[in-house]
Amino acid sequence: MARPETPGTAADHAGDHAGGSSDGAGARPPDATPAAVHAGPGEAQRHPHAAYPVTVASPLGPLAGLRADADESASVGGPPATALLLPGYSGSKEDFAPLIDPIAAAGIGVLALDLPGQYESPGPESETEYRPGALGPVVAEVVAAESGAGRRVLLLGHSYGGLVARAAVLAGAPVRGLTLMDSGPGELPMGRRRTDLDVLEPVLRRRGIDEVIALRDASGQWSSTHPHVVELLRERLRRSAVAGLLGMGDALRSEDDRTAELVAAVRARRVPCLVVCGIDDDAWPVSMQRTMADRLEAEFAAVPHAAHAPNVENPAALLDVLVPTWRTWLRDDILG
């Protein structure tokens, strides 16, 4: 089991929790639609919040995280709950910045992580250790540590993080609920995102991460993003493990459909599931994710005015799905 976490260095994240506000959520019923999240276009990863940096031990080394304590007065009762949030390929814990304070205000603590090899989390040198089947048991140990500390864990994985979250549940992670966000049943289908991985792989292998960053700059991909956020996106790419980007990229093009295994696991352990995605997701088609939800007998929601990352594209509408659903799961858990 993972060792207890240690606090991070506040100076390293001073911009992350300056002025952490709950956007007035304290006066609202916790089950109500969360108050508007005022993150301007392209500004989400720098959205202010009250989380503090921590380091969580894992079998693959320390994991950088952001933890926010729940407003206990808003909890549904029973043991405390934590939403454990896993980012996608080339992402980081900062992708969840707009969600942190509203979730905590609804009585659910938050722990957002950089997966091994992502941004501030060191990772192994072997590409194969970044596949979902290898990272899943790592996350399962983090979940077990949270559970051992008396917390009920609501596990959410975005995109590649969803494949890892699924593998964690299959590895026995004692979760009280599973949310797969903009994540599919297996490998990415043919399309722009898969083509991008095909194109970038030889560049990354032969020329390195700086050339990948230069290509993203030249493509105009970040043209509508706030310069302060672009600085973060460049920095986290530069600090991410090349082996991790290659290993995850390969898995995104080869991961098997393990939905049948997941169905058996969640049914046996009575784990409620939610599949949620942007209504214009351009990675896994919405129809494919809806079918996966049907197979899982999971709740399904499509977030308007969002594509592959509703956490940064329309966080308020995403919270309108997550918060009431999670609170219902926790209440049902108490009632048995």
Domain boundaries, the chain: 50-335
pLDDT at residue 228, rounded to an integer: 87
Q: Which residues is 109 bridged to in the sheet? A: 82
Sign (positive/negative) of CA torsion 291, 268, 146, 134? negative
Q: Which residue in 196, 206, 230, 200 sits closest to 308, CA to CA?
A: 196
Give the whole-angstrom CA distance, residue 145 versus residue 139. Answer: 10
Whether the CB-CB separation of 58 and 138 falls below 8 Å is answered with yes
pLDDT at residue 26, rounded to an integer: 44
**Cα 52 vs. chain centroid, distance in angstroms?**
17
pLDDT tens, position by position, for the chain (336 residues)? 343 455 553 333 333 333 333 333 445 566 755 555 665 557 889 999 999 999 999 999 999 999 999 999 999 999 999 999 999 999 999 999 999 999 999 999 999 999 999 999 999 999 999 999 999 999 999 999 999 999 999 999 999 999 999 999 999 999 999 999 999 999 999 999 999 999 989 999 999 999 998 888 887 777 677 888 889 999 999 999 999 999 999 999 999 999 999 999 999 999 999 999 999 999 999 999 999 999 999 999 999 999 999 999 999 999 999 999 999 999 988 776
Q: Which residues is 152 bridged to in the sheet? A: 81
| Stated pTM of the model | 0.89
280-284: list long-range contacts, CB under 8 Å, 24+ apart. Answer: 280/306, 280/307, 281/182, 281/307, 281/308, 282/191, 282/192, 282/193, 282/307, 282/308, 283/159, 283/182, 283/184, 283/188, 283/191, 283/193, 283/308, 284/182, 284/183, 284/184, 284/185, 284/188, 284/189
Give CATH for domain 50-335: 3.40.50.1820
> What burial letters (b/e) apply to 118-139, b meaning 16+ CB within 10 Å?
bbbbbbbeebebbbbbbbbbbb
Backbone angles phi, psi at 83, to 5 degrees: -90, 115
